[in-house]
Amino acid sequence: MNDVVLIDAGGANLGSVRYAFERLGARVSTSADPAVIRAASRVVLPGVGAAAGGMARLRELGLVEVVRGLSQPLLGICLGMQLLYGSSEEGDVECLGLLPGRVSRLVPVDGTDGRPAVRVPHMGWNSLRPIGHSALLDGIDDGAQAYFVHSYAAPMGPATLATATHGADFPAVVGDGRRFGAQFHPERSATVGERLLRNFLSEAIA
């Protein structure tokens, strides 16, 4: 089984993400040591909080260039996915630039124009709609439910592997080469989240 290193960038979901991988039989460690991170066969960037704080923490730890230079499969979760992009409106901050585009705030809808009211932050279960084929989404059907907590979303683009809708469509899962992201929380998304993490560990993603 692959060894997984969770980047210790201060995310509050580190423990739950670690437990989710351990339940799948993975060897998991949490580290901010560049050598440990570079040596892992799989790297995960969890994150809960704001983009500016997340990037400040990575800079403080000297990990920005470490993450940018990784060649093994990398999975960003929630804020960790957003940090993969070029920049974020949240704090007007430069991010890792591994995926092109700018993360922007979700737009609330008050319902007065006939559309259903939409509140921000987006919290709760929502449907996934896979686009095309990706090994990361094997076994995850159209309409599968995942758990989201976020106020910002990445831009739609070629890296989008699955979408969800909250007022408008946004990327729920992204991937480009060995760089992947899940806007939802796999560790809180029951069998759907378990399947995505299992796929990330599989030989199909190498």
Distance CA 38, CA 69 (A): 9
- 121 upstream amide cis, omega within 30 of 0: yes
Note whether residue 206 is domain-resident.
no
Note whether residue 35 is domain-resident.
yes
Note whether residue 127 is domain-resident.
yes
CATH code, 11: 3.40.50.880
When computed from its CA atoms, the radius of gyration of the chain, rounded to whole angstroms, is: 16
- What is the reported pTM? 0.95
Residues with a catalytic annotation lie at 78, 185, 187
Question: Which tokens hold the place of 201?
Answer: 């560990």
Q: Can you give the residue range of the structural domain that contains 78?
A: 3-201
Note whether residue 182 is domain-resident.
yes
Cβ-Cβ contacts under 8 Å for 33 (sequence gap 6 or more)? none
How many distinct structural domains can be found in the chain? 1
Cβ-Cβ contacts under 8 Å for 9 (sequence gap 6 or more)? 32, 45, 46, 47, 54, 57, 58, 61, 63, 80
pLDDT string in tens for the chain (206-residue length): 469 999 997 766 789 999 999 999 999 999 999 999 999 999 999 988 899 999 999 999 999 999 999 999 999 999 999 999 999 999 999 999 999 999 999 988 876 776 777 899 999 999 999 998 899 999 999 999 999 999 999 999 999 999 999 999 999 999 999 999 999 999 999 999 999 999 999 999 97
